[in-house]
Amino acid sequence: MEYRWTLSPPPDEAKVRKIVEALGVPVPIAAILVNRGIDTFEEAKNYFRPSLELLHDPFLMEGMETAVSRVKDAIQKHETILVFGDYDVDGTNGAAMLYLVLRALGASVFFHIPDRFKEGYGISKHGIDRAQELRSTVLIAVDCGITAVEQVEYARSLGIEVIICDHHEPSDKIPDACAVLDPLMPSCPYPFKYLSGCGVAFKLLQGLARSYRREDLPYDYLDFVSLASTADIVPLIDENRTLVRLGLDQINLNPRPGIRALIERSGLKLGQLNTGQVVFVLAPRINAAGRLGAASRAVELLTCTEEATAQELALVLEEENQNRRKIDEEMFTRAQQLVEQYLDLENDAAIVLHQETWHPGVIGIVASRLVEKYYRPTVMLTTVDGVVKGSARSVAGFDIYQALKKVEDKLLQFGGHRYAAGLAVEAERLDEFREAFNAVVKELLPDELRTPEIHIDIPLDLKEITPKFIRLLKQFAPFGPQNMRPVFLTHAVEVVGSGRIVGKDHLRFKVRQDGIVLDAIGFNLGRFLPQLAPGRKDLQLVYSVEESEWNGETFPQLKVKDLKYGLQVQ
């Protein structure tokens, strides 16, 4: 796949000098900071050393006063509370956190995670009936509920008050709940709009803890917010950066039994967990519980206190994840066959695929893989109880939620956010939807977004990659949307010796510039091996800088994203 290389504009030199002098950092580090909007000593301090003091006042969120008052009243009157969480990492971590903190405050509390296959996404009638069985008078929804107008009405008819903690886009009609907490509500003045669902629930707990004068209580549960926010791919800026950074520190220093067991079972190193490992290793295992069976098992793991029980539950999730990967691979293979057979890859702006037998728990993952391979907004659909349901995934810069909104007259329902959504359509209207969705994507998707972009922070010479430079780069973590690992462009590089393929299709080689020789690896870039030309000094590399360990020694390594000969990118 061809990539667009986009180089950030040169930062303001005066601002760069100011940061160099204030922090004593190399010019390239200062340039990256300035390009990321950090151009004062105070902003740099907050960026490199995020603290709890940077968190916003929870009572700035619309509905918070009402929500805190109602939950506190329920605790004091010994009413039963049911926590209703979505079945993904965000929802299960949010439910686990709420359950534990409410219990610590003396609440009579239970949790319910919907069955993906029997109940579907969001607040379900079954979940509300479960609340009634438990004689719950308050239902707190985490990572869902913002579009649950009818479900909230049903709950009210049974005398159950609903508090919604969501972060998805609200529709035109807001549920008539006791309180709706969602920073994306048009009328909500909360200063940060991009919390995860678990993050919104954390704000509720912050407000509740303050009312009990136990402000520090929720901070012991930042590990849940960190896992949820990282896995849900929310922007790692502002409040999210603080929550994720401090939560990861907790996990690495003293993980609770369930998280420790999950880390050990997945083969990760305790104490060195980062956001990439959460996204690609831990999150799929937590999600696997709900993709192939009962997601409540994830909450049981996250809340358990016994090491032996934690190990048993972690093993179950490990096995479920292996099963999920097998189904995933079979479905991906079939989906590729359909794309190659039926789609006009020159003219079709989007991919919409449907097979009645596809596993509803895995289609979202396969949709993401198709986006990665073909770089088109993708909808994967299966049939559940006669209704065509599925997941939509987008390419960078394209709002798939708004695209679906433009064809909502063809849909039974839909919900989600900018890059991921769920939808349902009548079987007889599937072709109508496919045609309309393709037309909308073709109309709204600009030409430049049809080719994947590699965003480059700054040009860099190899001699600038010093131990101090690498040490400072590490402090840019945690990495994620809007705070990605810095990417560099180096011109006039020479390949030293012969490259080779390692692993499945990874390109390993050495490069030299002005006498500096460094190791380089390009994951899944084996196709470039024939192009490597030792002796030529006009190779351009786009890469991030990481550290690699071999025989007990640590050395810098260029993680190559793309390479070209000759052409100068300015």
Architecture of domain 4-8+453-565: Beta Barrel (2.40)
| CATH class as words, domain 343-450 | alpha beta
pLDDT-derived band at 567, boundaries 50, 70, 90:
low
Q: Higher pLDDT residue, 225 or 566?
A: 225
Assess contact for 144 and 166: CB atoms under 8 A. yes
Assess contact for 39 and 18: CB atoms under 8 A. yes
- pLDDT over 80 at 127, yes or no: yes
Ordered alpha helix ranges (H), 375-485: 400-406, 430-444, 467-474
- Going by C-alpha positions, the residue among 464, 463, 557, 541 that lies closest to residue 495 is 541
What's the average model confidence in pLDDT over 532-549? 92
Q: What is the pLDDT of residue 570?
A: 47
What's the average model confidence in pLDDT over 488-517? 95
pLDDT digits (tens, 9 = 90+) for 341-384: 999 888 899 999 999 999 998 999 999 999 999 999 999 999 99
Q: What is the pLDDT of residue 499?
A: 92
**What residue spans in the chain does CATH classification 2.40.50.460 cover?**
4-8+453-565
Long-range residue pairs from 167-173, CB within 8 A, at least 24 positions apart, any chain: 167/143, 167/194, 167/195, 167/196, 167/197, 167/199, 167/200, 167/234, 167/417, 168/144, 168/197, 168/415, 168/416, 168/417, 169/401, 169/415, 169/416, 169/417, 170/146, 171/146, 171/147, 171/415, 173/149
In eight-state DSSP terms, residue 483 is: B
φ and ψ at residue 115, rounded to 5 degrees? -80, 120
Burial bucket for residue 530 (CB in 10 Å: 0-12, 13-18, 19+): exposed
What's the average model confidence in pLDDT over 88-117? 96
- pLDDT over 90 at 332, yes or no: yes
Beta bridge partners of 269: none
Mean pLDDT of the chain: 95
Beta bridge partners of 352: 379
- pLDDT over 50 at 69, yes or no: yes
Long-range residue pairs from 168-172, CB within 8 A, at least 24 positions apart, any chain: 168/144, 168/197, 168/415, 168/416, 168/417, 169/401, 169/415, 169/416, 169/417, 170/146, 171/146, 171/147, 171/415
End-to-end, the C-alpha distance of the chain in Å comes to 21
**What residue spans in the chain does CATH classification 3.90.1640.30 cover?**
54-254
Q: Does domain 54-254 have CATH number 3.90.1640.30?
A: yes
What's the average model confidence in pLDDT over 282-302? 94
- pLDDT over 80 at 248, yes or no: yes
Ordered alpha helix ranges (H), 113-256: 125-133, 149-157, 197-211, 222-231, 238-253
Q: Of how many residues is the chain composed?
A: 570
